[in-house]
Amino acid sequence: NAGVTQTPKFRVLKTGQSMTLLCAQDMNHEYMYWYRQDPGMGLRLIHYSVGEGTTAKGEVPDGYNVSRLKKQNFLLGLESAAPSQTSVYFCASSDPPGQETQYFGPGTRLLVL
Amino acid sequence: AQSVSQHNHHVILSEAASLELGCNYSYGGTVNLFWYVQYPGQHLQLLLKYFSGDPLVKGIKGFEAEFIKSKFSFNLRKPSVQWSDTAEYFCAAHSGGYNKLIFGAGTRLAVHP
């Protein structure tokens, strides 16, 4: 039981390049989330999904897209990376109905030059 | 807007000192509260959570937190810290559906031997 895994662990991009971050969970959770962590700002929700085929915007969605084609996977895409997207990205998953703990992945450190 | 505030951004303690980290939230209704910890180089782990019932919640590694509704607070405490408690601590809350967490900015704790 691996829990929540993320790939890659670290990536360097040039401004304007695109990339996809992959999150996978093996706990059969319905809900999945993408956060970004920046110094002094805690974690902020980018997008989330409440089930296969669904996505919704979080607190800071601009510049990102997501897809949830399979229940166990949640992809975060950057179409045209900007230096402001330099951050650590965390994926999490949980079960409904609304009182369940979120389980976090190990994070992806992204540097945009 | 819903928010979570952590008063201390950096705390430095000696081993065996007592710890209290402040957390205040701005939700008006029913709220679920969490403390997460992030050890250096690791992902977020749940320390403890409050949903309802006894306002004094005990978590892992000797941590506890007290929910005081009248003060909108959920402070984290530990009577005697250890060097291994060096980490960043995040208070978080969610209210309503989809488990969307709002995080505080985090408190970096450094414990010196």
Per-residue confidence of chain B (113 residues) as pLDDT tens digits? 678 999 889 999 999 999 999 999 987 778 889 999 999 988 899 999 998 899 999 999 999 999 999 999 999 999 999 999 999 999 999 876 666 788 999 999 999 98
Task: Specify the pLDDT at position A98.
Answer: 54
Q: Between chains, do B100 and A58 touch, taking CB under 8 Å as contact?
A: yes
Closest residue in B to A39 (Cα–Cα): B105
Of A98, A100, A106, nearest to B43 by CB-CB distance is A106
Q: Strand ranges (DSSP E) for chain A?
A: 4-7, 10-13, 19-25, 31-38, 42-49, 56-57, 65-67, 73-78, 87-94, 103-104, 108-112
d(Cα A106, Cα A91) in Å, to the nearest integer?
A: 8
Closest residue in B to A47 (Cα–Cα): B100
Residues of chain A with pLDDT under 70: 1, 96-100
A79 CA: distance to closest CA in chain B (Å): 25
